[in-house]
Structure 1
Amino acid sequence: MQFQSLEQRMLHTYVDTFPPFVPLREAPASEESQRQLHAFFEGMYQRFAADPSIWFSELHEDDAHPYRFNKAAYGKPKLIVDMRKVLKTVDSFLGVLFSLGKEGSLEGNILVLGDTKGVSRKHRAVMAELGLKLGGLAMPTSSALPKGSGPSKACVLSHDDLPEMFAAWKWMASRPGASMLAFSRCMFDPDHSYMRDVYRRLSGCEGAFDMLERYLLEADHQLVDRRDGGLTVDYVKCRGDAGAKLGHPAYDHNYTGIAADYDHVIVVPQYFMLRILRMRDILPMFDRMDEDLKDFVIEYNQRCHGCDFCIQRHKARSSAVKRFCVVVEHRGKRYGLCPLFPGHSYCWTSLDEKRVKGIIAFLSFMERELFAT
């Protein structure tokens, strides 16, 4: 997608990661209230992305990091600062909306608020752009009024076009375990994986995603939603200590499977990465693979290019360390394959049927050769 500015690129990440509407059927807020809140946030993110000047008077030329695992190599240290500034600006606003819902009281189709001095002039202006009305209103004495707000006047939040959304707003901001992420992405049902729905769309081929997911679940992988509170989905099997913490897929030593994640500052933010263990055992088994799996490994495995990182990493243990490179032959050619950090190369921004068949074949081979009991 082409962006007109850095700010537009970053604001579009909120559109990218916003899930489709899936309500909680039996909730304190009606399905219509949930639907209206979802429509509010969806429209808000689209509005921000379409017109970054709502937030920023000065726009930067569009740019993004091309190297997912070595951002410093791009040579633009200020870029990530500028990108995160955009995210921080919007997240600060989301925090205000979350706090208003948490601290306010529901009175019909409005939120009755106490002290709103913490709502900045800029935030008030943006709220007005979004159709939110924040102001004083004479009211009868009510048990819904916040303590200290007085019996006859309160500050209230309302919206003419989406009047019923505030029941869902209040519930999502104040229910047990409420989080700004779930609130701002309208993740109403705690048992539903909304990020799974997001990555299904971002995969570029929903049929291929479904094929992969079907295999993973049938092969007893566990779906883990929002690892460490992030925008992640993992399908994993534990190979280490039971209950071991699930870490980053490129460096985790306890789990196999696949992870989906979103890195806001990369040219194409979403990625799907295999969780691979014991690659130094897998590559020497190359001759046991069928031809299609060999093609897959040759296409994606990192070649040894003589960086000698493996030697530097292990020279303290032995003075006779050799390169970890595994030499294989395939279709009349020789390849030197590196077994280190395989997640860096078995990593994709999209899925298709051919790629998914290779992923399934690789995970099945790893299961059969290394972990079968």
Structure 2
Amino acid sequence: MEYANLEQRILNAYLTMFPEFVPAQSAEVSISEQKDFYDLMKRLYQLLFHDPSLVVPTLHEDDAFPSRYKKGYGKPELETNVLKIKNAVEKLLQTMFRIGQGSDPKPNKRQLKILSALGIEDLKKLPTAWVWMSNRPGATQAAFTYCLFREDYVYSVDVYARLLGEEVFHRLERWMISHGYKPYDITSENGKLTLAYANPAWGSEPPRGGNEYKIKHTGISAQYDAYVGNPTALGLCIPYGMKNFLENFDSMNQKVKDFVIERTKKCDGCRYCVQTDKTGTRPLACMPINYKQTEYKLCPYFPGYNYAWTSIDDKLVDNLIEMLAFMDTFADGIVQRKKET
């Protein structure tokens, strides 16, 4: 998709991530009142997308980072400009949320102009569902932002199925659900709505989201980062790093072995694993793996960086299923060892 400016690229994320209308059937407000609020929020994001100058005074040439890790691009001002538009929108949404709570956040002139364009002239007379979404038990700005009316429904499943491809995504989903995995909407303070599937065999603690850090469960994580050229990403969740699984490389079937050799980082001597060693004697953490008459030195740390994709197909889904099934055979043993340490 082409954007007229950087701000439009970032604002498009709110439209892209806005889920289908799924109302709460037994709520204090009617379904039609929920639909009115849903339509208002959608109009808000459409309004800002078509005229970003409503929310920020300066527009910038469109650009995007080549990867979500923002390294090696040499444009520090890009991140600054991304944050400006992102913060402006989040402050607007925060103001709207607080107005609904009955507080007096003192909207600025830009915010008042936007609200007026939505037909909100009197801040004491708000749509019924607006007030409800701001005050119901457990109300959050994220649920307000994306109209997550039902607390027992995972809205991000539909969003990421649409972004990644309905047929292939649902094939992976069906396998996970049939093996006990559970989906979660993961929301954050910076307005992101991400998806996680986690296998409770690894523990009852809900997932944190993401697939890079402090992963304690098998599953997948999906996210959308508007500042990246390919904004949608799906990652494999590998609990506690690769060490436990590389130690059992010989027990993998050939498909899993091929997948692990293809995706796991080969040691490049970065020395991250020995950075705290002042003696210079600690060996590197890489693990030697012999496969098809070749020795590989594979890094066990932070595998999520390599096990991530911006699109999925049937071959990848096959590999993900095989890898998840293999890792899950170690759930009981690894969880028990973690409890004992």
Give the alignment's TM-score, normalised by structure 2. 0.85
SS of alignment partner, residue 79 of structure 1: helix
The offset of 1:324, in angstroms, is 0.7
1:52-91 aligned at under 5 Å gives the runs 52-69=52-69, 71-91=70-90
Structure 1 residue runs without a partner (length 5+): 105-114, 136-154, 159-165
Distance 1:94 1:179 in 2: 11
1:1-373 aligned at under 5 Å gives the runs 1-69=1-69, 71-103=70-102, 118-130=106-118, 132-135=119-122, 156-157=124-125, 166-203=127-164, 205-226=165-186, 231-237=193-199, 243=205, 246=208, 248-277=210-239, 278-312=241-275, 315-316=277-278, 319-322=281-284, 324-330=286-292, 335-368=296-329, 370-371=330-331
Distance 1:281 1:156 in 2: 58
Is the 8 Å Cα contact of residues 246 and 254 (structure 1) preserved in structure 2?
Answer: no
| Deviation larger for 222-231 or 45-54 | 222-231
SS of alignment partner, residue 199 of structure 2: strand
Deviations 1:294-329 (A, max 9, x none): 33233322233332333435x458825145143333
Distance 1:38 1:282 in 2: 46
Distance 2:243 2:282 in 1: 18
Q: 1:285 to 1:348 in 2, by over 3 A?
A: same
Is the 8 Å Cα contact of residues 233 and 261 (structure 1) preserved in structure 2?
Answer: yes
Is the 8 Å Cα contact of residues 182 and 198 (structure 2) preserved in structure 1?
Answer: yes
1:145 counterpart residue number: none
The offset of 1:72, in angstroms, is 4.4
SS of alignment partner, residue 58 of structure 2: coil
Q: 1:345 to 1:123 in 2, by over 3 A?
A: same
* Percent of aligned pairs sharing the same letter: 35
Distance 1:3 1:291 in 2: 44
SS of alignment partner, residue 255 of structure 1: coil
Is the 8 Å Cα contact of residues 29 and 132 (structure 2) preserved in structure 1?
Answer: yes
Q: 1:37 to 1:300 in 2, by over 3 A?
A: same
The offset of 1:80, in angstroms, is 1.6
Distance 2:206 2:10 in 1: 34
The offset of 1:10, in angstroms, is 0.8
Deviations 1:233-253 (A, max 9, x none): 222235777648746531215
Q: 1:245 to 1:282 in 2, by over 3 A?
A: closer
Distance 1:245 1:298 in 2: 27
| Deviation larger for 333-342 or 346-355 | 333-342
Aligned Cα root-mean-square deviation (Å): 2.8
Q: 1:290 to 1:193 in 2, by over 3 A?
A: same
Deviations 1:146-168 (A, max 9, x none): xxxxxxxxx6547xxxxxxx121
What is the count of residue pairs matched by the alignment?
330
Q: 1:253 to 1:97 in 2, by over 3 A?
A: closer
The offset of 1:189, in angstroms, is 0.7
Q: 1:123 to 1:242 in 2, by over 3 A?
A: closer
Q: 1:195 to 1:318 in 2, by over 3 A?
A: same
Q: 1:27 to 1:244 in 2, by over 3 A?
A: closer
Is the 8 Å Cα contact of residues 67 and 73 (structure 1) preserved in structure 2?
Answer: no
Distance 1:281 1:199 in 2: 30
Is the 8 Å Cα contact of residues 198 and 207 (structure 2) preserved in structure 1?
Answer: no
Distance 1:317 1:362 in 2: 38
Structure 2 residue runs without a partner (length 5+): 334-341
Q: 1 or 2, which has the higher strand percentage?
A: 1
Give the alignment's TM-score, normalised by structure 1. 0.78
Deviations 1:143-199 (A, max 9, x none): xxxxxxxxxxxx6547xxxxxxx1212211221111121112111111111122222
Distance 2:271 2:124 in 1: 64
| Deviation larger for 244-253 or 50-59 | 244-253
Distance 2:135 2:332 in 1: 46
SS of alignment partner, residue 211 of structure 1: helix
Distance 1:21 1:244 in 2: 25
Deviations 1:259-309 (A, max 9, x none): 223334333333222121351232354444333333323332223333233
Distance 1:10 1:213 in 2: 28
